[in-house]
Amino acid sequence: MDDLEGYRQAQAAEWQQARHPFELEQLLVPFQQGQRAGQKPLAAAAGSCCCLVFLLLSVGTLTPLQYGLTMNLITRQIDPDNIYEGGRHFIGPWKSFVSFPSTRVTVSFANQKGTGSTQGPLETRTKDGLALTLQLAFQYRIDKNYLGKLFALANLNYEPLFVRNARDVLLKAAADYDAPQYWEEREKIGHEMQSLLNKRLRGVAWT
Protein backbone atom coordinates (compact mmCIF):
# COMPACT_ATOMS: atom_id res chain seq x y z
CA MET A 1 0.00 0.00 0.00
CA ASP A 2 2.76 2.41 0.85
CA ASP A 3 4.45 1.73 -2.48
CA LEU A 4 1.20 2.33 -4.38
CA GLU A 5 0.54 5.57 -2.54
CA GLY A 6 4.08 6.75 -3.21
CA TYR A 7 3.71 5.95 -6.90
CA ARG A 8 0.48 7.99 -7.11
CA GLN A 9 2.08 10.98 -5.40
CA ALA A 10 5.06 10.85 -7.76
CA GLN A 11 2.73 10.76 -10.82
CA ALA A 12 0.72 13.69 -9.48
CA ALA A 13 3.87 15.75 -8.95
CA GLU A 14 5.07 15.03 -12.51
CA TRP A 15 1.65 16.03 -13.90
CA GLN A 16 1.68 19.31 -11.96
CA GLN A 17 5.19 20.14 -13.20
CA ALA A 18 4.16 19.45 -16.81
CA ARG A 19 0.81 21.30 -16.51
CA HIS A 20 2.00 24.70 -15.25
CA PRO A 21 4.41 25.59 -18.11
CA PHE A 22 1.79 24.51 -20.65
CA GLU A 23 -0.93 26.67 -19.10
CA LEU A 24 1.44 29.63 -18.74
CA GLU A 25 2.42 29.36 -22.40
CA GLN A 26 -1.24 29.19 -23.47
CA LEU A 27 -1.96 32.35 -21.48
CA LEU A 28 1.08 34.29 -22.72
CA VAL A 29 0.70 33.58 -26.45
CA PRO A 30 -2.77 35.17 -26.86
CA PHE A 31 -1.67 38.16 -24.74
CA GLN A 32 1.44 38.75 -26.85
CA GLN A 33 -0.53 38.35 -30.09
CA GLY A 34 -3.10 40.86 -28.88
CA GLN A 35 -0.34 43.29 -27.89
CA ARG A 36 1.23 43.12 -31.35
CA ALA A 37 -2.16 43.52 -33.04
CA GLY A 38 -2.87 46.67 -31.00
CA GLN A 39 0.49 48.21 -31.89
CA LYS A 40 -0.24 48.20 -35.65
CA PRO A 41 -3.19 50.66 -35.57
CA LEU A 42 -1.28 52.86 -33.13
CA ALA A 43 1.76 52.99 -35.41
CA ALA A 44 -0.46 53.72 -38.43
CA ALA A 45 -2.19 56.58 -36.60
CA ALA A 46 1.14 58.10 -35.56
CA GLY A 47 2.41 57.87 -39.14
CA SER A 48 -0.74 59.57 -40.47
CA CYS A 49 -0.37 62.43 -37.96
CA CYS A 50 3.27 62.97 -38.98
CA CYS A 51 2.29 63.10 -42.67
CA LEU A 52 -0.49 65.59 -41.93
CA VAL A 53 1.85 67.88 -39.97
CA PHE A 54 4.44 67.66 -42.77
CA LEU A 55 1.85 68.66 -45.37
CA LEU A 56 0.58 71.57 -43.29
CA LEU A 57 4.12 72.87 -42.80
CA SER A 58 4.75 72.59 -46.54
CA VAL A 59 1.83 74.74 -47.76
CA GLY A 60 2.05 78.52 -48.13
CA THR A 61 -0.77 80.96 -48.94
CA LEU A 62 -0.90 84.26 -50.81
CA THR A 63 -3.94 86.50 -51.22
CA PRO A 64 -5.29 87.11 -54.75
CA LEU A 65 -3.58 90.54 -54.74
CA GLN A 66 -0.08 89.34 -53.86
CA TYR A 67 3.05 87.97 -55.46
CA GLY A 68 5.44 85.90 -53.40
CA LEU A 69 8.99 84.62 -53.14
CA THR A 70 9.90 81.74 -50.85
CA MET A 71 12.30 82.17 -47.95
CA ASN A 72 14.14 79.34 -46.21
CA LEU A 73 13.39 79.86 -42.52
CA ILE A 74 16.69 78.27 -41.48
CA THR A 75 19.15 79.97 -43.83
CA ARG A 76 16.98 83.10 -44.44
CA GLN A 77 17.79 82.81 -48.14
CA ILE A 78 15.32 83.88 -50.85
CA ASP A 79 14.64 81.88 -54.00
CA PRO A 80 14.50 84.64 -56.68
CA ASP A 81 13.78 82.29 -59.59
CA ASN A 82 10.37 80.94 -58.55
CA ILE A 83 7.64 83.59 -58.38
CA TYR A 84 4.20 82.70 -57.04
CA GLU A 85 0.83 84.37 -57.49
CA GLY A 86 -2.24 84.32 -55.23
CA GLY A 87 -3.45 80.99 -53.85
CA ARG A 88 -2.19 77.99 -51.87
CA HIS A 89 1.09 76.47 -52.97
CA PHE A 90 3.18 73.47 -51.91
CA ILE A 91 6.53 75.10 -51.10
CA GLY A 92 8.10 72.48 -48.83
CA PRO A 93 8.82 72.47 -45.08
CA TRP A 94 10.81 75.17 -43.30
CA LYS A 95 9.80 77.77 -45.90
CA SER A 96 7.46 80.75 -45.94
CA PHE A 97 6.36 83.42 -48.39
CA VAL A 98 7.72 86.96 -48.63
CA SER A 99 4.80 88.82 -50.19
CA PHE A 100 4.57 91.86 -52.48
CA PRO A 101 1.49 93.72 -53.80
CA SER A 102 0.46 92.73 -57.31
CA THR A 103 -1.82 95.78 -57.78
CA ARG A 104 -1.08 99.49 -58.16
CA VAL A 105 -0.11 101.28 -54.94
CA THR A 106 -0.79 105.00 -54.48
CA VAL A 107 1.71 107.41 -52.92
CA SER A 108 0.44 110.93 -52.17
CA PHE A 109 2.31 114.15 -51.46
CA ALA A 110 -0.64 116.00 -49.94
CA ASN A 111 -2.15 117.35 -46.74
CA GLN A 112 -5.26 115.22 -46.94
CA LYS A 113 -4.75 111.57 -46.12
CA GLY A 114 -6.19 109.20 -48.70
CA THR A 115 -5.67 105.62 -49.76
CA GLY A 116 -2.11 104.38 -49.81
CA SER A 117 0.89 106.22 -48.40
CA THR A 118 0.65 109.96 -47.62
CA GLN A 119 3.93 111.89 -47.34
CA GLY A 120 2.87 115.54 -47.06
CA PRO A 121 3.15 118.31 -49.70
CA LEU A 122 6.40 119.11 -51.50
CA GLU A 123 7.87 122.54 -50.69
CA THR A 124 10.19 124.19 -53.22
CA ARG A 125 10.64 127.35 -55.33
CA THR A 126 9.84 128.10 -58.94
CA LYS A 127 12.50 129.01 -61.47
CA ASP A 128 11.81 132.71 -60.85
CA GLY A 129 12.21 132.29 -57.08
CA LEU A 130 8.61 132.15 -55.82
CA ALA A 131 7.60 129.73 -53.06
CA LEU A 132 5.76 126.68 -54.41
CA THR A 133 3.76 123.98 -52.65
CA LEU A 134 3.00 120.89 -54.72
CA GLN A 135 0.26 118.43 -53.83
CA LEU A 136 0.19 115.44 -56.12
CA ALA A 137 0.07 111.64 -56.21
CA PHE A 138 1.56 108.83 -58.25
CA GLN A 139 1.02 105.08 -58.48
CA TYR A 140 3.52 102.29 -58.82
CA ARG A 141 3.15 98.61 -59.62
CA ILE A 142 5.96 96.14 -59.07
CA ASP A 143 7.00 94.04 -62.06
CA LYS A 144 6.93 90.47 -60.75
CA ASN A 145 9.86 89.50 -62.97
CA TYR A 146 12.09 91.80 -60.90
CA LEU A 147 11.01 90.71 -57.42
CA GLY A 148 14.33 89.02 -56.72
CA LYS A 149 16.29 92.10 -57.81
CA LEU A 150 14.04 94.40 -55.77
CA PHE A 151 14.36 92.28 -52.63
CA ALA A 152 18.15 92.16 -53.00
CA LEU A 153 18.19 95.95 -53.37
CA ALA A 154 15.84 97.02 -50.59
CA ASN A 155 14.52 93.92 -48.79
CA LEU A 156 10.91 94.87 -47.95
CA ASN A 157 11.73 98.59 -47.60
CA TYR A 158 11.13 99.28 -51.28
CA GLU A 159 8.42 101.93 -50.83
CA PRO A 160 10.67 104.37 -48.90
CA LEU A 161 13.17 103.89 -51.73
CA PHE A 162 10.50 104.82 -54.29
CA VAL A 163 9.39 107.82 -52.22
CA ARG A 164 12.94 109.20 -51.88
CA ASN A 165 13.52 108.93 -55.63
CA ALA A 166 10.14 110.47 -56.43
CA ARG A 167 10.71 113.38 -54.07
CA ASP A 168 14.12 114.09 -55.59
CA VAL A 169 12.85 113.99 -59.19
CA LEU A 170 9.74 116.08 -58.54
CA LEU A 171 11.52 118.81 -56.57
CA LYS A 172 14.19 119.20 -59.24
CA ALA A 173 11.61 119.24 -62.03
CA ALA A 174 9.38 121.75 -60.23
CA ALA A 175 12.24 124.25 -60.01
CA ASP A 176 12.60 124.28 -63.81
CA TYR A 177 9.35 126.21 -64.41
CA ASP A 178 8.35 129.82 -63.81
CA ALA A 179 5.29 130.60 -61.72
CA PRO A 180 3.04 131.61 -64.69
CA GLN A 181 3.71 128.25 -66.36
CA TYR A 182 1.99 126.42 -63.51
CA TRP A 183 -1.21 128.25 -64.47
CA GLU A 184 -0.84 128.21 -68.23
CA GLU A 185 0.89 124.87 -68.82
CA ARG A 186 -0.28 122.75 -65.88
CA GLU A 187 -1.09 119.67 -67.99
CA LYS A 188 2.20 119.82 -69.89
CA ILE A 189 4.19 120.11 -66.65
CA GLY A 190 2.29 117.15 -65.22
CA HIS A 191 3.17 114.94 -68.21
CA GLU A 192 6.83 115.97 -68.09
CA MET A 193 7.07 115.21 -64.37
CA GLN A 194 5.40 111.84 -64.92
CA SER A 195 7.87 110.96 -67.67
CA LEU A 196 10.85 111.87 -65.47
CA LEU A 197 9.42 109.92 -62.55
CA ASN A 198 8.77 106.81 -64.64
CA LYS A 199 12.28 106.89 -66.00
CA ARG A 200 13.81 107.13 -62.52
CA LEU A 201 11.66 104.51 -60.86
CA ARG A 202 11.98 101.96 -63.67
CA GLY A 203 15.63 101.87 -62.71
CA VAL A 204 14.71 100.40 -59.34
CA ALA A 205 12.51 97.55 -60.64
CA TRP A 206 9.01 98.83 -61.02
CA THR A 207 6.49 99.56 -63.81
Residues 155-194 have pLDDT tens digits of 999 999 999 999 999 999 999 999 999 999 999 999 999 9
Helices then strands, each counted (H, E), the chain: 5, 10
Cα-based angle 75, 79, 85 (whole degrees, multiple of 5): 130
pTM over 0.85: no
Instruction: State yes or no: pLDDT of 27 exceeds 50.
Output: no
Please tell me the CATH code under which domain 104-202 is placed: 3.30.479.30
Task: Select from 189, 63, 86, 194 the least CA-distant residue to 140.
Answer: 194
pLDDT tens for residues 97-110?
999 999 999 999 98
Q: Is the pLDDT of residue 83 over 70?
A: yes
